[in-house]
Structure 1
Amino acid sequence: MIHFENVGLRYGMGPEILRDLTFDIPKRSFQFLTGPSGAGKTTLLRLLFMSLKPTRGLIRSFGRDITQIPRQELPLLRRRVGIVFQDFQLLDHLTTYENVALPLRVRGKEEASYKQDVLELLKWVGLGERINVLPAILSGGEKQRAAIARALIDRPEILLADEPTGNVDPPMARRLLSLFLELNRLGTAVVIATHDLALMEQVDARRMILSEGRLDIYE
């Protein structure tokens, strides 16, 4: 699904942040991305999401070299990827329900075709009573859960999640993990960036450890 070959990234004339990354994200796979703070995990997720292009090396997403994809085609390709950012990126003028439904509205779907799915997913992540609330009223953990629901609602081919359990309590973290695992069982490849060792120990999954710009993979 995604292939990296000798990928490096630097900003301007500075040192390389990521160096010589070579790996694959296979279809239907599940992996954790971990490593110390500042190692470049979020930057790597942005490369996977095609919002950054490498300084050198090859990234092939869904069979296409991302450096050769016309800019106007990138948004359509990114629709195949669900992403949960650490800063949530909810739209302040939309309710929780409207934020989660947004990817489906953008695709031109009629509300009648997705309303029940949105409501059920919001209930699953513990926001069933917060569907008409604006983001400014939500707690950090509630915003995080809304962002996760928005990333999942359109059944992406790959899910990228940056510290998705960082603002929730352990029971909710386990519930979210079970949601990611179910999505994976249904066919979505999952990449979870996390520092949470307890979370990783609950799943027998590949670990991608990023340190000093280099990546080690343990199957």
Structure 2
Amino acid sequence: MVRFENVGLRYGMGPEVLRDVSFDLPANSFQFLTGPSGAGKTTLLRLLFLTLKPTRGLIHTFDQEVSTLSKHALAETRRRIGIVFQDFRLLDHLTTYENIALPLRVQGQDEARYRAEVVELLHWVGLGERMHVLPPVLSGGEKQRAAIARALIVRPELLLADEPTGNVDPALARRLLRLFIELNRSGTSVVIATHDESLMELFPARRLRLEDGHVTVQEPASWS
């Protein structure tokens, strides 16, 4: 699904923050992206989401070499990817329902076609009773679930999540992890950036460890 080949990234004339990064993301896979704070996990997610271009090296996404894509093709490819931001990025003047439906509205879809799907997803993430409230009324955990639902509503082939359990209690973190596992079982590849060792121990998934600008891949059998 995704392949990095000797990818390097620097900002301006500064030193490279990522160096010779090479790895594959297989279709229907689940992996944790881990490493110390400041290692560049968010930067790597931005490369995966195609909002950053590498300074050198190649990135292949859905069998396409990213640097050769036109702006239109790049936007079309990005629509196949969902992302959950660390700061939620919900719009305070829209209800929970409207925030989740927003990607479909932007695509120009008719609400009559997607309303039932949005409501079903709201119930699936445990927000069925909160669909008509505004984000300032939601708890941190509810905002996180709304952000996840917004990413899922486009039925992405690849879902990226940046520290999705960083601001919730352990019980809710386990619940959110179960949501990601169920999504993966339905056919979506999942990458969760986290430094939470206790969370990663709950599910024997592949780990991409980012440290000193390099990525090493740890398969579950190597640390079981």
Global fold match (TM > 0.5): yes
Q: Summarize deviations over 1:35-54 as a string: whole Å, max 9, x none.
A: 00000000000000000000
* Residue 101 of structure 2: aligned partner: 101
Residue 195 of structure 1 and its aligned partner are, at CA, apart by 1.3
Which residue in the other structure is 1:62 paired with?
62
Look up the match of 1:77.
77
For residues 130-153 of structure 1, the C-alpha deviation after alignment (integer angstroms, 9 at most, x for no partner) is: 212222333333222111110112
- Name segments (4+ residues, structure 1) moved above 6 Å: none
Q: Is the 8 A contact 1:155 1:183 kept in 2?
A: no
Backbone CA RMSD of aligned residues? 1.4
SS at match of 2:3: strand
Q: Secondary structure at the match of 2:128?
A: coil
Deviation at 1:201, TM superposition (A): 0.9
Give the unaligned 5+ runs of structure 1.
none
Alpha-carbon distance in structure 1 between the residues aligned to 2:177 and 2:137: 25
Offset at 1:182?
Answer: 1.2
Residue 5 of structure 2 corresponds to 5
Tell me how far apart the structure 1 counterparts of residues 114 and 180 of structure 2 sit (CA, whole Å).
Answer: 20
Unaligned runs of 5+ in 2: 220-224
Q: Secondary structure at the match of 1:60?
A: strand
Q: Tell me if structure 1 keeps the 8 A contact 2:34–2:208.
A: yes
Q: Give the alignment of 1:42-53 within 5 angstroms.
A: 42-53=42-53
> Partners of 1:191 and 1:77 in 2: how far apart?
17
* Segment of structure 1 superposing worse, 106-115 or 90-99: 106-115
Give the conservation status (yes or no) of the 8 Å contact 2:209–2:217.
yes
Deviation of 1:90 (Å):
1.6
Q: Which amino acid aligns with 2:137?
A: I
The question of whether the paired residues in 2 share the 8 Å contact of 1:35 and 1:211 is answered with yes
8 Å contact from structure 1 (residues 39, 210) kept in 2: yes
CA distance in 1, matches of 2:152, 2:72: 24
Q: Compute the TM-score of the two structures, normalised by the length of structure 2.
A: 0.92
Q: Contact 1:80–1:157 at 8 Å: present in 2 too?
A: yes
The alignment-based identity, stated in percent, is 71
Partner of 1:89 in structure 2? 89
Q: Secondary structure at the match of 1:129?
A: helix
Q: Higher mean Cα deviation, 148-157 or 50-59? A: 148-157
Q: Please report the TM-score for the alignment, with normalisation by the length of structure 1.
A: 0.94
What is the CA–CA distance in structure 2 between the aligned matches of 1:125 and 1:185, rounded to whole Å? 16
- Residues 44-193 of structure 1: pairs in structure 2 closer than 5 A: 44-193=44-193
Instruction: Check whether the contact 1:209–1:215 (CA below 8 A) recurs between aligned residues.
Output: yes
For 1:62, the aligned partner's letter is F
| Comparing 123-132 and 92-101, the one that deviates more | 123-132
Structure 1 residue 174: Cα displacement: 1.6
